[in-house]
């Protein structure tokens, strides 16, 4: 087995903080929650900029690739109010997300500080966590507003996260579905876990040096890690 996939090689005694991405990490991407957000982003851009949905989609993806979040490009080039944008795109139905008692139990076995780190807002994150039954499983949420609207994978955003919660990067591990978001974390000294899925599984070669561990199932990975506790 590849060393990068041996979660048993992780020394739990050296990990004091557990950092989790939200969308497509704490719930499975097959629920297509983020696809709904994607669609609302497209509609918002089309309405606000007076362009076709096709052009809005192209612009949306261009800004995402360049800045890590569409909002950053909209703020920089179109003076879009971030609160209006976020309120609009995050107004979605979350009924498809169900309580996950297995993940809740697994998280409870992790000693240390547990943080949700997201490019969305606390309000949206709390709605997700409530649906999952995980609102009491985390010690805090670091959102896009806390990061002064500087999104992952900007290095500055990670630095603000660490400062906000007084975290030591060498004693931290981060879980992400997008491997590009693990690059700054790895450079800072964090251990990294890529929670890959069908849409992102072919990206590994581009970010291999920044990925310590990989898994297709977050709950199972944590369960295996904590089995010896």
- 69 & 144 share domain: no
Distance CA 195, CA 175 (A): 7
What range defines the domain where residue 62 resides?
33-89
As given in the structure block, the two tokens for residue 112 are: 């240390």
146 in the same domain as 47: no
58 Cβ partners below 8 Å, 6+ apart?
none
Q: Which of 43, 58, 89 is the last residue of a domain?
A: 89
Query: Measuring CA to CA, which residue among 169, 123, 168, 165 is closest to residue 143?
Result: 123
Please say if the pLDDT value at position 2 is more than 50. no
Which CATH number fits the domain that encloses residue 15? 3.40.50.1000
Query: pTM of the entire structure?
Result: 0.92
Q: Do 125 and 191 fall into the same domain?
A: yes
SS3 at position 171: helix
Q: Tell me: do 51 and 134 sit in the same domain.
A: no
CA 74 to CA 76: how far, in whole Å? 6
Name residue 17's beta-bridge partners: 113, 172
Pairwise CA distance, residues 125 & 19, whole Å: 14
85 and 153 housed in the same domain: no
Neighbouring CB atoms inside 10 A of 107's CB total: 21
Mean residue pLDDT across the chain:
93
Q: How confident is the model at residue 8 (pLDDT cuts 50, 70, 90)?
A: very low
Shared domain check, 9 and 77:
no
Q: What is the CATH number of the domain that holds 74?
A: 1.10.150.450
| Claim to verify: residue 149 and residue 175 sit in the same structural domain | yes
- 11 versus 157: the higher-pLDDT residue is 157
Structure tokens at 121: 């807002």
158 and 83 together in one domain: no
One domain for residues 64 and 114: no
Residues 200 and 124 reside in one and the same domain: yes
Residues 106 and 84 in one domain: no
Number of domains the chain contains? 2
Q: What is the token pair recorded at 216?
A: 């297709």
Summarize pLDDT for 55-111 with one digit per residue, the tens. Answer: 999 999 999 999 989 999 999 999 999 999 999 999 999 999 999 999 999 999 999
Asked whether residue 50 falls in the same domain as residue 120, the answer is no
Rg of the chain (C-alpha set): 17
> Would you state the torsion angle of the CA atoms of residues 105, 109, 110, 111, taken in this order, to the nearest 10 degrees?
140
Cα(203)–Cα(172) distance, integer angstroms: 23
The residue from 89, 115, 136 where one domain ends is 89
3 state DSSP class of 193: strand
Instruction: Report the pLDDT averaged over residues 11-26.
Output: 94
């Amino acid at each position: 087995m590849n060393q990068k996939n041996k979660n048993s090689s992780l020394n739990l005694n050296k990990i004091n903080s557990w950092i989790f991405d939200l969308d497509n990490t704490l719930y499975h991407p097959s629920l297509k929650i983020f696809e709904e957000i994607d669609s609302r982003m497209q509609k918002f851009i089309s309405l606000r900029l007076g362009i076709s949905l096709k052009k809005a989609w192209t612009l949306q993806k261009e800004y995402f690739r360049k800045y890590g979040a569409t909002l950053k490009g909209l703020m920089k080039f179109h003076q879009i109010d971030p609160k209006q944008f976020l309120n609009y795109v995050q107004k979605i139905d979350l009924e498809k997300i169900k309580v996950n008692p297995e993940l809740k139990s697994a998280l409870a076995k992790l000693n240390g500080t547990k943080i949700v780190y997201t490019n969305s807002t606390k309000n949206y994150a709390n709605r997700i966590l409530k649906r999952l039954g995980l609102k009491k499983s985390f010690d805090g949420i670091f959102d896009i507003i806390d990061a002064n609207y500087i999104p992952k994978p900007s290095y500055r955003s990670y630095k603000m996260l660490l400062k906000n919660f007084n975290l030591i990067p060498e004693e931290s591990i981060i879980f992400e579905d997008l491997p590009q978001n693990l690059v700054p974390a790895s450079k800072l000294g964090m251990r990294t876990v890529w929670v890959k899925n069908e849409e992102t599984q072919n990206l590994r070669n581009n970010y291999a040096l920044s990925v310590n561990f990989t898994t297709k199932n977050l709950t199972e990975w944590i369960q295996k890690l904590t089995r010896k506790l």
